[in-house]
Amino acid sequence: MAKDLTGKKVAFLGAGKMGGIILQALLKSGLLSPKSTFATVAHEERAEALAARLKVKVGTNNVEAARKADIIVIGVKPQVVEDVIREIHGHITPNQLIVSVAASVPTSMIEKNLSGNVPVVRAMPNTPCQLGAGMTAISKGKHASAEDVAMTCHMFEVVGRTVVVDEKHMDAVTALSASGPAYIYIILESLAEAGVKVGLPRDVATLLAAQTALGSARVVLETGDHPALLKDAVTTPAGCTIDAIMELEEGKLRVTLIKAVVKAAQRAKELAFG
C-alpha cells in the first residue's frame, strides 16, 4: 500500500476519545475527506451527535463501515477488539490495512481472527494528540509491509511525533508515553500546589509550572542534550536548585517514577489479550 492517503477510504471502528481525536485531526488537516471517512460507535445517539459534529458518516454497523474501507482503524476498548474483528472478518481482504490503537492487544491476536494475510499495524498514541503534540509508537504485524508502516506513520504525524518500534516494546511504550500524560499532570498539579504554598496565585502557579515543563521538554527534544547535563546547567553551586534537588532525592522521586513505569508495563503485559 502506497504511503499517500489521497483517495483512501478510512473507517474508524470505535470513534471514542482516541479514535475521535485522530479522526478529527485527519479531517482538519485535509488528509482525509469527509466523503471517504466512515466511523462507528456503540450507541445510536452518539453516532448521530458525532455525525452532526464532524460531517462524516457515523453508524453502529462495523461490517458496513469496514467493507468499504482501504484502512480500518480499530479504536474500541481492548476487551472489545476480538469481538469487532470476529464481526468484520468475513469482509476483510489482504488489500486492506488494519491499524489498531488498542493497548495490550498484540497484532497476532488480530491476525489469527482474520482469514488470509491481512496486514495489521499497531499504534500506541497518547492524549496530547488532541493538540497535535502527541507521541505515537508504531509497530508492524507479521503481514504488514514497510509501506503499511509508513502509511500509519503518515497518519499519526498529523497528531504529533511518531517512532517505529519492535512490537516487543509496546507494553513499555504503553507504560511510558501512553500513560505518561497522567504522571506529568500529577507533577504539574503538585508544582502548582507548591507555587500556591510559597504565595503565588493558583493560575500564575499553574502557568509557571506548565510552561516550564513544556520549555524543558522542548530543550531536550531540540538540543538532544542529556537531561542530566541540562539539569546541571540550572544548578548553581550552593544555590537554591541544589537544595530542592536534595529534597527530591530524599523523597525518592527518581526511583518512584521508575517503579511507576515498571508497574504499568507489568500491568500492560498482564492484561494482554490473546
User: Considering the rule CB under 6 A, would residue 46 count as an interface residue with ligand NAP?
Assistant: yes
List the interface residues with ligand NAP, window 234-253 (CB under 6 A). Answer: none
List the interface residues with ligand NAP, window 48-107 (CB under 6 A). Answer: 62, 75-78, 80, 84, 101-103
Least Å from the CB of residue 73 to ligand NAP: 10
User: Considering the rule CB under 6 A, would residue 206 count as an interface residue with ligand NAP?
Assistant: no
DSSP string, the chain: --S--TT--EEEES-SHHHHHHHHHHHHHTSS-GGGEEEE-S-HHHHHHHHHHH-SEEES-HHHHHHT-SEEEE-S-HHHHHHHHHHHGGG--TTSEEEE--TT--HHHHHHTSSS---EEEEE--GGGGGT-EEEEEEE-TT--HHHHHHHHHHHHTTEEEEE--GGGHHHHIIIIISHHHHHHHHHHHHHHHHHHTT--HHHHHHHHHHHHHHHHHHHHHH---HHHHHHHH--TTSHHHHHHHHHHHTTHHHHHHHHHHHHHHHHHHT---
Nearer to ligand NAP, 19 or 195 (CB): 19
List the interface residues with ligand NAP, window 117-136 (CB under 6 A). Answer: 124-127
**Separation of alpha carbons 155 and 21, rounded Å:** 12
User: Considering the rule CB under 6 A, would residue 178 count as an interface residue with ligand NAP?
Assistant: yes
Least Å from the CB of residue 105 to ligand NAP: 7
Nearer to ligand NAP, 18 or 144 (CB): 18
Q: Which of 88, 75, 95 is nearest to 114 (CA)?
A: 88
Least Å from the CB of residue 181 to ligand NAP: 7
**What count of Cα atoms within 13 Å lies in the side-chain half-sphere of residue 50?**
27
Among 15, 25, 72, 114, contact with ligand NAP (rule: CB under 6 A): 15
Count, residues near ligand NAP per rule CB under 6 A: 27
CB 87 within 8 A of CB 63: yes
Nearer to ligand NAP, 151 or 170 (CB): 170
Nearer to ligand NAP, 178 or 192 (CB): 178
Nearer to ligand NAP, 43 or 263 (CB): 43
Among 8, 11, 14, 99, contact with ligand NAP (rule: CB under 6 A): 14
Nearer to ligand NAP, 19 or 106 (CB): 19
Nearer to ligand NAP, 175 or 205 (CB): 175
Least Å from the CB of residue 99 to ligand NAP: 11
Give me the residues that bind ligand NAP (CB under 6 A), please: 13-19, 40-43, 46, 62, 75-78, 80, 84, 101-103, 124-127, 178
